[in-house]
Structure 1
Amino acid sequence: MSKRDIIKAGYWSIATQKHLKQFTIDSPGIGNFGNLSTAGKAGRFLGAIRGNQVIDNIHKLEQMANSVGISSRAELEMIILPYLVSASDQKIELIKDVTGKVTGIAEYLFTNSAVLEISGQLFENLSPTPEEIVTVETMDETKKIPYLQNELTEFLVNKGHSEENINLSYALQKQFKLIQMFNKSKSSEPIISNEYVWGGNSEKIAMAISGLQTEGRHSLKEIIEIIQQSQGYPLEKLPKEAEELLLLAKKVGMINPTTIISSRGMRKEFGFSSNLIGQHLHDDDILDDVKLLLASIRFGENYTPYSTINDPERFLKKLIESGDIGPHDANATDYTLLEKKGIVRVVNKTKFNYYTGRNRTGACLELIRKDVAEEALKIIKSPNYNFQSDSEITDFSSMIDTGSFLSPEESRIRLGEMPEHVREVEEHAVRVLRGELL
């Protein structure tokens, strides 16, 4: 495989695993995507640890692995880590004690492209099935533009795939909502599309809204414009009359809803347009880092009593230029999701405050992945971007630190579902991440 093909495989491994983890492990047919799922899970784990350089606390590694669906130390140590070491060309090294027991990890990953490349190499090393290879090709092609089924089949046959494998792959992808098949009004030939064909594709949008009256299409256009001009817009602030149109926009990918759930169960959705990032095909925040950073700032700006982020641009500039920000009480409570994803770390520091003329000790945010913050800053500095919004919520009595995050794909698949949260478990996880428990 060429480097581009390997990165492509890594990208779609991660995208596929983000979908498949919504289904139970005993779902009929899910085993046909076993290699894609393993490679994707490993890639998401790499995305979480990237930028830490050395993590010598196995319990912290476990917490970071658990955040992407690696549920046990045995799976991490016996499956994921050995696969990653073999696929990484020495970019991943295990730290072991004198008995040979894994105690940590060292990584030399500087870009998301490196994460995708290792994930793709791991996928190739696993000897994927023909159906999995067809899945990668299908999803990659239909991201660019929806295809008539016969055209896509011809394309895949010309690449050396059999029609039997192609049709089986289609059936599996449709079963697990990786692709959509729908009929064009003037043709009996099905059109194949997927979750990652963005709203900027006029052909898909035209078919999605073809049943709407003129007034409905105009209203939907207004909703999309609001989201495009104000990335991370709190969706509850949209007019109630827009709920059905909003649901349509979410389901077809014209809006990417990112959900943050507090540890006490308060759930808030933030809307991002489909073209948030991505000058290149496989460079569109597939790991959700930028969306999570922007949504966390939005959450702190609108829904928590602890945060004092009045100027998000200034906040991000300070974090990027200084490498840290604080001390501030909010840093200990408002950004635990960013800790889990390895975007920041929370540390206690003593720093001189020029305003008070005294030293202050407290929680500081240290930036781990500068490129994520820089990408977020570019978005909010855009002349078409409006980050300000007035909060209508005045009762914060139910709020504590944020405890969960749903990607846009999860939100589209699981609209209305909310996992249970146990405060003690969440607090334990945070203490492990910060090295307070050994």
Structure 2
Amino acid sequence: MDKNIKGAWILQHGQKLQATTNQDFDSISFAGKCGKFLSAISAESQEKISDKQLSALARANYISVRTDVPMIIEELKRQRLILPGVGGIEVLGVTGKEVLKFTATIFEESERESFEDAVIELSEATSDFPITETLAVDFISDTFKLSKADAHSTLLVGSNIGFFDTESISSSEKLIFNGNLFRREDARKISAVLSTLNAVETQNLSDVNARLNDTGCLPLNGIVKILGEKLFSQLHSIGMFDVNIVGNESGQNSFVTRPAAFSKFTNSIADDALDLAKALVASLTYGMTVSSYYRGRINAISLLMQKLIDGGTVGPATAIGSDYQALEYKGVVKVIPANGGMFRMRLLKPEVGRLALSVIQSGNITGEAVDNLPGAKVTSYTAPEVTREFCRKNSTEAVKLKTRNLLNEIRTGGLNK
């Protein structure tokens, strides 16, 4: 498997393990934390990070300062990614793709269990096409020299953690699939889903897809109004839509993107493994569509974003000091104090900015240039995979039955009709 792809799966699985007490996948967990922390503290150019900043970034990314950070720092030193300094460290310039490669390297150099390799390989296989549990057991048993009992146990524990999803398709068989199914535009997968819908649902879905293709990102309530809660839940649960949640003191706002919107500019899970571009797109869309006028609604963004991508800073503005905390936590932007209680902002990850800007510019939500980045306060961000898991866990039996049928159609491509 390509190292970028493997690193992306390790990061995604590592984040899921952080929400559990499971100790079976220790190598995935540690390598995932290393990659997540490296992403948070690094930029494309070499950066100095104080001990205080290290602790703050660790806490913001749910990494224990006492138990995790010392081991992670030692590993990053061993990989020659950081240099010790007085009162902090220096982090060598690292791109997002390099973060993924080092994450994979850390995992590969660990003393890991063979079933840890198995869940990564199976995750990639089922993100392309669902397979039956019988085939999955045979695949990981033969490939990783596991007994059939251990292979079954690996599938059960992996699906409980959320490495992949399962749906019963008969009394004796389950379907194994992955939420990254629609990350790449695939006419066969789309047509398989459409073949299960009635004429009204098909028309409504076509309408929603057209609007998202035009715009890139839209508020959730508008999408649900067109599709209805039941149909949206079905399509969301199998990964046809991504739901991104941004939050602040006023509450939470949800926005919908399509994985295919990003696949115009990327072609795998590796290109936005930590959902950083989605976080940036959702934050900017909030500023353009929801943020109140008195905060300074964003009317345009292209030239400002290009300035950031080119290495420039925006500001000074008072609002910058509080409005982009979610992006600060993830190491996407750096907020710099200026005079008079104002702040400037610099983009630490130009590749994330380029992907986000491409998605935004592919739609029609950009306009005339503005002088400063207006307020669009976002203090928290919930990624698509988290919202998709919540949707599946809380779906009704009727919705789960329809989901099962949709996945069966995707698996066969409608060829058995």
TM-score where L is the length of structure 2: 0.81
1:387 to 365, 378, 388: 365
2:307 to 318, 340, 359: 318
Question: CA deviation digits over 1:192-212, x for unaligned, max 9?
Answer: 211221164566666767764
Structure 1 residues 416 and 57, CA gap change in structure 2 (3 angstroms): farther
Deviation at residue 402 of structure 1 after TM alignment: 2.4
In structure 1, the residue corresponding to 2:346 is in which secondary structure?
A: strand
What does residue 433 of structure 1 align with? none
Asked if 1:412 corresponds to 2:388, the answer is yes
Deviation at residue 117 of structure 1 after TM alignment: 1.3
What does residue 425 of structure 1 align with? none
Asked if 1:70 corresponds to 2:46, the answer is no
Does the 8 Å contact 2:49/2:89 carry over to 1?
yes
What does residue 173 of structure 1 align with? 158
What does residue 108 of structure 1 align with? 92
In structure 1, the residue corresponding to 2:271 is in which secondary structure?
A: coil
Asked if 1:298 corresponds to 2:306, the answer is no
Q: Which runs of 5+ in 2 are unaligned?
A: 368-374, 394-417
What does residue 428 of structure 1 align with? none
Does the 8 Å contact 2:317/2:343 carry over to 1?
yes
Question: CA deviation digits over 1:341-371, x for unaligned, max 9?
Answer: 1111122347xxxxxxxxx983211122112
CA distance in 2, matches of 1:121, 1:188: 39
What does residue 255 of structure 1 align with? 241
In structure 2, the residue corresponding to 1:414 is in which secondary structure?
A: helix
What does residue 34 of structure 1 align with? 26
CA distance in 2, matches of 1:239, 1:413: 18
CA distance in 1, matches of 2:93, 2:134: 41
What does residue 244 of structure 1 align with? 230
- In the TM superposition, 1:341-420 aligns within 5 A as 341-349=330-338, 362-382=342-362, 385-387=363-365, 401-414=377-390
1:330 to 319, 340, 345: 319
CA distance in 1, matches of 2:81, 2:376: 38
Asked if 1:12 corresponds to 2:2, the answer is no
2:72 to 50, 70, 80: 80
Does the 8 Å contact 2:118/2:144 carry over to 1?
no
2:205 to 220, 230, 237: 220
Letter in 2 for 1:174: S
Letter in 2 for 1:367: L
Asked if 1:137 corresponds to 2:121, the answer is yes
What does residue 371 of structure 2 align with? none
Deviation at residue 174 of structure 1 after TM alignment: 1.5
CA distance in 2, matches of 1:330, 1:295: 18
Does the 8 Å contact 1:64/1:340 carry over to 2?
yes
Deviation at residue 284 of structure 1 after TM alignment: 2.9
Does the 8 Å contact 2:316/2:343 carry over to 1?
yes
Deviation at residue 254 of structure 1 after TM alignment: 0.7
Structure 1 residues 75 and 180, CA gap change in structure 2 (3 angstroms): closer
Does the 8 Å contact 2:337/2:343 carry over to 1?
yes
What does residue 146 of structure 1 align with? 130
Deviation at residue 311 of structure 1 after TM alignment: 0.9
Asked if 1:45 corresponds to 2:45, the answer is no
Does the 8 Å contact 2:284/2:376 carry over to 1?
no
- In the TM superposition, 1:51-62 aligns within 5 A as 51=43, 53-62=46-55
Does the 8 Å contact 1:300/1:306 carry over to 2?
no
Does the 8 Å contact 1:220/1:245 carry over to 2?
no
Structure 1 residues 157 and 206, CA gap change in structure 2 (3 angstroms): farther
What does residue 159 of structure 1 align with? 143
Does the 8 Å contact 1:62/1:73 carry over to 2?
no
Deviation at residue 61 of structure 1 after TM alignment: 0.9
Deviation at residue 137 of structure 1 after TM alignment: 0.7
What does residue 92 of structure 1 align with? 82
In structure 1, the residue corresponding to 2:135 is in which secondary structure?
A: helix
In structure 2, the residue corresponding to 1:126 is in which secondary structure?
A: coil
Question: CA deviation digits over 1:118-153, x for unaligned, max 9?
Answer: 111221233121221110110011122222334344
Does the 8 Å contact 2:296/2:376 carry over to 1?
no
Structure 1 residues 217 and 20, CA gap change in structure 2 (3 angstroms): farther
CA distance in 1, matches of 2:245, 2:76: 30
CA distance in 1, matches of 2:11, 2:98: 13
Asked if 1:281 corresponds to 2:277, the answer is no
In structure 2, the residue corresponding to 1:237 is in which secondary structure?
A: helix
Percent identity between the aligned chains? 24
Does the 8 Å contact 2:281/2:356 carry over to 1?
yes
Letter in 2 for 1:167: H
CA distance in 2, matches of 1:172, 1:193: 15
CA distance in 2, matches of 1:265, 1:33: 38
Asked if 1:123 corresponds to 2:103, the answer is no
CA distance in 1, matches of 2:123, 2:274: 17
Higher helix proportion (structure 1 or 2): 2
Number of residue pairs matched by the alignment:
378
